[in-house]
Amino acid sequence: MGLFDFFSKLFSSNKNQAQVLCVGLDNSGKTTIINQLKPKDAQTEDIVPTIGFTVEKFRSLSVNFTVFDMSGQGKYRNLWEHYYKDAQAIIFVLDSSDKLRMVVAKEELELLLRHSEISTRCLPVLFFANKMDMRDALSSVKCSNMLDLDKIKDKPWHICASNALTGEGLHEGIQWLTDQIGSQRR
C-alpha cells in the first residue's frame, strides 16, 4: 500500500476531511515528500494568486493538502496566511543539511506559531528533518535543538528524520500525524 493510500484509509471511516498544510523553506524537500504521498489520481490544482507565489493544493479521498514555500516570499505572507484557518495539521519540512538557513526556518516557524489563526489552536505539528542521507545532515535532535522545539508547549509536535528520495522516515511521521488528528476528533 502506498503512503497516501495508507494515510487516506485511516480517514476513510471519518466523514470529515483532513486539511494538512505542508510548509517550509524552498528546496527543503516539500515537493518530493508530497510526491511520495500523492496518489496517481490526485486532483492537483496550482494556484498562482500573484506572480512569485504558488500554492499547490491536491486532494484524494479524505485528505486535502495545501503546500507552499515560506522563504523569500515575505511580501506574500498575507496571501498564504489565508490558508491557516482551515488547517487541522501542519507538516513543517526542514533541510537538515542546510545549517545556514536553519535560523531562517526558526524565524518562519515562530511567526507561524504566533499567528492568531494558529496560536489559539492545538494543531499537531510534524517536522521532517529531511535530507538525512546527506553527509553533513544534522540529526533530528540537533534540528530540534536549533529550532527550540522543546519550547512548544501548547501543541503536540514530533520530529522525524527523513529521506524523501527513498521515502525513509515518512511513514513514521504520517502515522504519528494521523494518530494525532484522529485523537483530536474523538
Has 73 been annotated as catalytic?
yes
Of 102-110, 148-156, 158-166, 174-182, which part binds ligand G3D (CB under 6 A)?
A: 158-166
Q: Using CA atoms, how far apart are residues 112 and 108, in angstroms rounded to an integer?
A: 6
Q: Cβ of residue 20: shortest distance to ligand G3D, in angstroms?
A: 15
- Site for ligand G3D (CB under 6 A): which residue of 37, 118, 161, 164? 164
Q: Identify the residue among 4, 18, 19, 28 touching ligand G3D (CB under 6 A).
A: 28
In 54-98, which residue ranges form alpha helices assigned H by DSSP?
A: 77-80
Element (H, E) at 24: strand 18-24
Stretch that binds ligand G3D, among 10-18, 26-34, 54-62, 109-117 (CB under 6 A): 26-34
* Residue 125, all three cell numbers: 505539528
Binding residue (CB under 6 A) for ligand G3D from 29, 65, 68, 80: 29
Q: Whole-angstrom Cα distance, residue 157 to residue 152?
A: 8
Question: Can you tell me the distance from the alpha carbon of 121 to that of 149, in angstroms, rounded to the nearest whole number?
Answer: 17
38-97 residues in contact with ligand G3D (CB under 6 A) are: 69
* 181 within 8 A of 18, measured Cβ to Cβ: yes
Cite the active site residues: 73
Binding site for ligand G3D (CB under 6 A): 24, 26-32, 69, 130-131, 133-134, 163-165
